[in-house]
Copies of this chain bind each other. A is one copy, B any other.
Amino acid sequence: MALNVSFLQELLSSVAEQGRALLPKSLFGADNGDDIEELAAALLSGRGEASGVAIAREVLDRYARLDDAARLRFFRFLATDMRQDPEAVSNAARAHLEEPTDASLAKLQKALESPRVEFFRRLHLAPGATPEIVAMRRDILRVLPDEASLVPVDQDLRRLFYVWFNRGFLVLRRIDWNTPASILEKIIRYEAVHEIRGWDDLRRRLDPTDRRCFAFFHPSLVDEPLVFVEVALMREIPDAIGQVLEEPHVQAPAKPATTAVFYSISNCQEGLKGITFGNFLLKQVVEELARETPTLRTFVTLSPVPQFGAWLEKAAHKDNHPVAGEAKALLDAIQRVDWPHGEDETEYPAIETAMMALAAHYFLAAKGFDGRPVDPVARFHLGNGARLERINYLADISDKSLREAHGLMVNYYYDPKEIERNHEDFANEGTVAASRAVRALLKLNPKVRALAAEPPQQALPPPAREKAGT
């Protein structure tokens, strides 16, 4: 319901007329950081209990009009003036240490809850406040790298959002050509994997009978997808993105689809960074598709390999890297024959062999500081319990893919029988589930093979660093 303006104004102005001390003088004056701080304080006071909705709305409206500098001042105000009372915390901590009871624990918990948590909850009194508070965290995240003092503010919001956006509140909706244009243009904008080039391109991804798109929505973020996934229903596991994006779709396919290919998954809300949705989305979409299209047997991705190029470059320039020589040789060959655009293709087979072996090494042997693969997409799917099914050579020859991944794409396979075991082995020991065929690629290169002989788990104990170098 829209706020009744006259009622509200009467509410605020009648208070103002009475010239009460609590009121910031500038309630209806110019917008500056001071005003919003006074209002924020008022929201936490008894006034906030009586007139919370009106004050919360006013805080949000003012925040929207602040410039970057004023916003930063406001964030610092939240970080310092609205933090926990250090003395109260110390006292409560000491009291609990002296007499550790349920009651002293509860008091300690209370002392530890910062006033700004209650502030954010009261901000939420204003109708429609949810997206504005999410946007506030987006603004904080943007300055966070240079403002360590804001970390606790960000943490408070993150914890709040973790509860507000609990899985139980998310609603799965199909996105198709009957979806309102105001949502569809967000799909175009938020697509992060394979750029959507306008409305015709969008239609090709949504409208054919063998294409699906699903998104999670939250009831209080109207028309704002949180995360969405694009799916192609096919008869085989594709080994190149062209098969998904460019192949003509037969209107009524002769044979029913057997394979659901998840070829793009994109998070939409910068302000919800660190709140996990993607894995829940994938699992619910698998269920939805299995219900809707009972002929589906295989659930698989066609995924990018965004860090392969950077890793290869680094390996080639690091003398003691176990595959330094191979990496260097491959990069030299690529440059020498202008792969994959060159006219002389005689060296291409060797390049393919080397690249596949090094890619296998990248996934199975190279590890980040935490003992897990360096590739973020791999970490996501392996962490969900998928296995690395296939590495596809020259699967995406867009400039971006050639630059980032030398054209490689991979399939991750979601097998209900394996998901839980794969997830746990990966979580506990860093084990990468991979198909026989992927493992076999390691053998293409003797040195890599030798490397693979030493089980990666063994070398894992945290905090692990670039294990591949050992």
Binding site for B on A (CB under 8 A): 1-4, 6-8, 10-11, 14-15, 18, 20, 46-47, 49-53, 84, 86, 89-90, 93-94, 96-97, 100, 102, 105-106, 108-109, 112, 121, 124-130, 149, 151-152, 155, 160, 162-164, 166-169, 171-172, 177-182, 184, 198-199, 203, 219-220, 223, 280, 283-284, 286-288, 290-291, 384-385, 416-417, 419-424, 427-428
Shortest CB-to-CB span from A416 to chain B, Å, is 5
Whether the Cβ atoms of A155 and B106 lie closer than 8 Å is yes
**If the complex has contacts A90-B100, A164-B163, A220-B168, are A384 and B178 also in contact, measured as CB distance less than 8 A?**
no
Shortest CB-to-CB span from A351 to chain B, Å, is 38
Whether the Cβ atoms of A3 and B46 lie closer than 8 Å is no
Q: What is the count of identical protomers in the complex?
A: 4
CA distance A428 to B160 in the complex (A): 29
Classify the interface of chain A: helix, strand, loop or mixed.
Answer: helix
Shortest CB-to-CB span from A252 to chain B, Å, is 13
**If the complex has contacts A125-B168, A424-B50, are A102 and B4 also in contact, measured as CB distance less than 8 A?**
no
Shortest CB-to-CB span from A147 to chain B, Å, is 12
CA distance A6 to B445 in the complex (A): 43
**If the complex has contacts A4-B291, A20-B421, A417-B14, are A179 and B177 also in contact, measured as CB distance less than 8 A?**
no
CA distance A149 to B166 in the complex (A): 27
Shortest CB-to-CB span from A122 to chain B, Å, is 8
Whether the Cβ atoms of B125 and A167 lie closer than 8 Å is yes
Residues of B within 8 Å of A384, CB to CB, are: 50
Whether the Cβ atoms of A130 and B168 lie closer than 8 Å is yes
